[in-house]
Chains A and B, each alone.
Chain A
Amino acid sequence: MGGVQPVLKAIYRLAWKDVMADFRHRSTFSSMLFFSVAVLLVFQAAFEPDPREAQRLVPGLLWTTVLFTTIMGLGRVFQSEEENGAFEGLMLAPLPRGAIFFGKWLGNLALSLMVMVMLVPLTLILFNVTLWSRVPMLLFLLFLGTMGLTALGVLLAAMTQTARSRETLLALLLLPLVSPLLIAGVQAMAVVITSGDLSGPWLNLLLIFDAIYLALAPWGFGWLVEE
């Protein structure tokens, strides 16, 4: 059975399998959600910002929360593959290695985005910021940022999956590499919050980083898993 459609179906099935695993075990998604809510509550209690100051703080707070929440999810991205030699089974499948990468990435992205959808309104409520009309734009920016963040993260998670302290190692590797994307995301979000303008050099930079990570990570994954 050749063609692109079966490969897309396989990618979907891989992502579906990971999302199902999470819903049935209530593990990654609930941990990510509780962690992000806890971080926001701590920030709110620590800063107690007035609405004007809150508008200035929201981009940084949101991206910091997203970053640490995503790292938490990435640490478990290959956990389900450890059982019964499942990762070995994936490697024996007649699929391009890049397709396996995209399946894992899509599953992780879906879980991260579910958290984001809850995170943005919660942030606006907690910090008393009345920017409800800009929620779709904020979500769009987080979506773009999370795409690149998780692409690089899944590659590094594959790289560190056999390490003993893999979650620490993952964070150590990911943080410096993902900094440019985060800076672009924070700046683009600040522009959206202050002017409502979803364009400009920071958004372009975000798109460029997404393109680079999404182009290189599947290739790197294929190289990494060959023995």
Chain B
Amino acid sequence: MTQLQVVDIAHRFGRRGVLRGVNLRVGTGECAVLYGANGSGKSTLLSLLATRLRIQQGQCFLGDLDIQKHAEMARQRIILIGHHSHLYGHLTPLENLIFFRDIYRLDTTQDLLVQAITTVGLAPFIQQPIRWFSAGMKKRLSLARILVSHPDVLLLDEPYSALDHAGVVWINTVIDTFQKQGGLVVMASHDPERVAALDHTPWRLDAGILQPWVESNRC
């Protein structure tokens, strides 16, 4: 059983402490949702879990794998969908997914990439460079990466931003399916109403301290 375990992580940007002694355990099929005000450290924690930032203090394990020591192996099992789409405007949706497949060293066939694009509702735009796509369309395409790569861990930073109602329903279905298939989700959100449809464990990050979320401190 895969488990993501964060042990006593602290992080500073210069003199400012962003995370202080964060501990978190997320098991197979579970979804941990991080709530908190702007600047409370949610995105920093996700960046540390995605190995984008070097862990300054504490440890993080994916199963037995120390993600700091084996960052490249960990990255193969973790996908972060953040504020930015990480897409290239001059490439078409298919070319963007081909690029993603190759830099993530996946075996996925082109037919499956096309199928993923169809699933996220972008089939009519498959030949168009994505530069002029709306934010919601770009979000859908970046989420298509989940369907293509089947990661163990899904890190989502404000996944509902820029999505319309149908998009929200769709992404919740994707996350729900991902959990039922044994995937593990850590999500940062400001939107408890939209998260409510998911089977999840809420947490609250306040001034860098992570605590179980209780009704009285709802953000």
Binding site for B on A (CB under 8 A): 1-2, 6-7, 9-10, 12-14, 17, 20-21, 24-25, 80, 83-86, 88-96, 226-227
Contacts and interface: CB of A to CB of B under 8 A. Distances in A.
Nearest to B155: A92
Nearest to A12: B102
Contact of B50 (A17, A80, A92): A92
Given A80-B90, A84-B87, A94 B52 contact: no
B120 interface: no
A14 B95 CA distance: 12
B212 interface: no
> Looking at chain A's contact residues, is the secondary structure mostly helix, strand, loop, or mixed?
helix
Interface in B97-145: 98-99, 102-107, 129, 138
Nearest to A80: B88
Contacts of B107: 1
Task: Name which of A9, A12, A80, A95 has the most chain B CB atoms within 10 A of its CB.
Answer: A95
B75 A24 contact: no
Interface string B79-92: 01011111111110
Given A94-B73, A226-B54, A7 B105 contact: yes
B53 A93 contact: no
Contacts of A226: 54
Interface string B43-77: 00000001111100000000000000000111110
A203 to B, nearest CB: 36
Contacts of A24: 90, 129
Given A10-B103, A227-B53, A85 B85 contact: yes
B82 A14 contact: no
28 contacts: A9-B105, A10-B102, A17-B99, A20-B91, A20-B95, A24-B90, A25-B90, A80-B88, A83-B89, A84-B87, A85-B82, A85-B85, A85-B86, A86-B87, A86-B88, A88-B52, A88-B82, A92-B50, A92-B51, A92-B52, A92-B75, A92-B80, A92-B86, A94-B72, A94-B75, A94-B76, A94-B104, A227-B54
A84 B105 contact: no
A95 B129 CA distance: 25
B99 to A, nearest CB: 6
Nearest to B102: A13
Task: Name which of A14, A17, A24, A90 has the most chain B CB atoms within 10 A of its CB.
Answer: A17
A9 B103 CA distance: 8
Contacts of A80: 88, 90
Given A17-B91, A20-B90, 18 more contacts: A1-B105, A6-B102, A6-B105, A10-B102, A24-B90, A80-B88, A80-B90, A83-B89, A84-B84, A84-B86, A85-B85, A88-B82, A88-B86, A89-B87, A92-B52, A92-B75, A95-B72, A227-B53
Nearest to B101: A13
Contact of A13 (B75, B76, B86, B103): B103
Nearest to A17: B99
A105 B134 CA distance: 32
B16 to A, nearest CB: 15
Contacts of A93: 75, 103-104
Contact of B84 (A14, A89, A227): A89
Task: Name which of A14, A83, A96 has the most chain B CB atoms within 10 A of its CB.
Answer: A83
Given A1-B105, A13-B98, A84 B88 contact: yes
Contacts of A84: 84-89, 138
Task: Name which of A10, A13, A84, A96 has the most chain B CB atoms within 10 A of its CB.
Answer: A84
A91 B50 CA distance: 10
A21 B99 CA distance: 13
Given A1-B105, A14-B103, A89 B54 contact: no
A182 B95 CA distance: 38
B33 to A, nearest CB: 21
